[in-house]
Amino acid sequence: FFIFPVVLKASTGLGDLGMGEQLHGLVIKRQFVSNKYVANALIDMYGKCGCLHDAKMVLETMPERNCVSWNSIVTACAASGVAFEALEYLEKMESLGGLMPNIVSWSAAIGGFTQTGYDEEALELFHVMLAAGVEPNARTLATVLPACARLKAWFSGREIHGYVTRHEYMSNAFVINGLLNVYRRCGDMHNALKIFLKFSIRNIVAFNTMIVGYCENGEVGKAKELFDGMDLARICKDTITWNSMISGYIDNGKYEEALNMFRHMQTKEGVEADTFTLGSALNACADMAALRQGKQIHAYAIARCLQTNAFVGGALVEMYCRCHDLAAAQMAFNGITDRDLTSWNALISGYSRCNKAEDIDNLFHKMRAEGLEPNSYTWNGMIAGHIENGHMESVLRLFSKMQSMNLKPD
């Protein structure tokens, strides 16, 4: 009766589907399924465990549904990645259930879109919600802001900024940092700084966002100031902080600084270089054609067993190719455990740049034999290599071959 919802919630939290199913059986035996609270908890449990079908079954068989029942099914769809179906249930809630969607319903449906990359749809639905006279809460804002950021929807960000200013109570870290990120993605560091200074969240994520923003804006000096200022603010730098600063230096052509930072990082307690760190550091070596330093990082990668990772491996391949050491590149490639298209692309463009036309055909076929189809990067890499080596006839030949494979040039 009263304890089933609570116990079901616990099994949901643990992601324990088996336990949830057992409870379902028990609930049926005792005829508690007709209880709204119990049934709603069941919908939620199935939804979160990825059993959308079972969640729907519960919804359909329960004698009467309330707002939470519909919200749970909307959430279930969103969690299963079927955003448009979530939207359908939002509509059915009103048409079939005769209930008006509340803020939870709207937020859940919007979340369905942001989680699957339908950013325009998420933002559009957010505006539909506002037009319907429903006031957003902090969670709603935290859900739409990443979509705004990716879309570089400065105006929507401004709108939410104004809203948050008028309703201070909803300015939690998720919202403020989300807003900060919208401005930084729009390249508007002026407004980003305003928010950063005005709202006193200023946690590690806020610092990291600002550092990235300044680096992208060509203001590495400002980024470094913030980086150094973190100790004073008594914020402990994490791997993301270091990675952001390192790749920021690289993007601004300051390779030496990037590698110094990488070395500095290794002396610090509590932070470990990860695949991002190594990938970035290797890119710096590739751009400088610094084979010696690249090899050092390679050794470090092996010591940490990170050379099998596709990202690090790809960066190694790239680095060796830039240094014209194809044998080493091939070895690094072979060491990648789960190679993907990008690994192949790196190797192919390397062979191409080094004028090894015969090997490319070979690689090309091996790649397809592994079930991977060339994409535009593959072709660009091959073509760019031929151009560098002055084989204009081959370029034209490749170009027509590419078109015969139904790929459009870009």
Partner RNA sequence: UCCAGCUUCGCU
Closest by Cα among 204, 224, 206, 203 to 215: 224
Site string for RNA, 172-211 (x = CB under 7 A): xxxx-xx-xx---------------------xxxx-xx--
Kindly report each contact of residues 23-32 with a partner whose C-beta sits within 8 Å and lies 24 or more positions away, as own/partner: 32/1, 32/4
Phi, psi of 391 (to 5 degrees): -95, 75
The minimum distance between CB 53 and RNA, in angstroms, equals 18
Residues in the chain: 410
Asked if residue 399 binds RNA (CB under 7 A), the reply is no
Asked if residue 240 binds RNA (CB under 7 A), the reply is yes
What is the footprint of RNA within residues 206-235 (CB under 7 A)? 206, 208-209, 212
Query: Which one, 275 or 293, has the nearer CB to RNA?
Result: 275
Interface with RNA (CB under 7 A), residue from 217, 355, 380, 389 = 380
Interface with RNA (CB under 7 A), residue from 310, 332, 367, 398 = 310
Helix/strand number for the chain, H first, E second:
24, 0
Query: Which one, 41 or 220, has the nearer CB to RNA?
Result: 41
Which range binds RNA by CB under 7 A, 20-28, 38-46, 124-132, 395-403? 38-46
Which range binds RNA by CB under 7 A, 90-98, 224-232, 312-320, 400-408? 312-320
Contact 300, 272 (CB under 8 A): no
The minimum distance between CB 204 and RNA, in angstroms, equals 7
The minimum distance between CB 299 and RNA, in angstroms, equals 20
In the block, residue with structure tokens 């249930």: 89
Asked if residue 41 binds RNA (CB under 7 A), the reply is yes
Q: Label residue 32 exposed, middle or buried (CB < 10 Å: 0-12, 13-18, 19+).
A: middle
Which range binds RNA by CB under 7 A, 124-132, 170-178, 259-267, 358-366? 170-178
One-letter identity of residue 90: L
Asked if residue 239 binds RNA (CB under 7 A), the reply is yes
Asked if residue 107 binds RNA (CB under 7 A), the reply is yes
Interface with RNA (CB under 7 A), residue from 27, 51, 52, 68 = 68
Query: Which one, 60 or 410, has the nearer CB to RNA?
Result: 410
Q: How many CA atoms lie within 13 A of 58 on its CB side?
A: 31
Q: How many residues bind RNA (CB under 7 A)?
A: 81
Asked if residue 164 binds RNA (CB under 7 A), the reply is no
CA distance 197 to 214: 15
Phi, psi of 373 (to 5 degrees): -100, 135
- Cα distances (Å, whole numbers) of residue 188 to 26, 37, 153, 183, 341: 57, 47, 11, 5, 35
Which range binds RNA by CB under 7 A, 97-105, 192-200, 227-235, 259-267? 97-105
Calculate Rg over the CA atoms of the chain.
26
Interface with RNA (CB under 7 A), residue from 168, 269, 358, 410 = 410
Asked if residue 156 binds RNA (CB under 7 A), the reply is no
Asked if residue 345 binds RNA (CB under 7 A), the reply is yes
Contact 309, 321 (CB under 8 A): no
Asked if residue 140 binds RNA (CB under 7 A), the reply is yes
Which range binds RNA by CB under 7 A, 86-94, 259-267, 279-287, 327-335? 279-287
Asked if residue 340 binds RNA (CB under 7 A), the reply is yes
E-assigned strands of 234-285?
none
One-letter identity of residue 85: E
Q: How many CA atoms lie within 13 A of 49 on its CB side?
A: 24
Asked if residue 308 binds RNA (CB under 7 A), the reply is no
What is the footprint of RNA within residues 6-25 (CB under 7 A)? 6, 9, 12
Asked if residue 114 binds RNA (CB under 7 A), the reply is yes
293: number of Cβ within 10 Å:
19
Helices 341-353 & 357-369 angle (0-180, nearest 10): 170
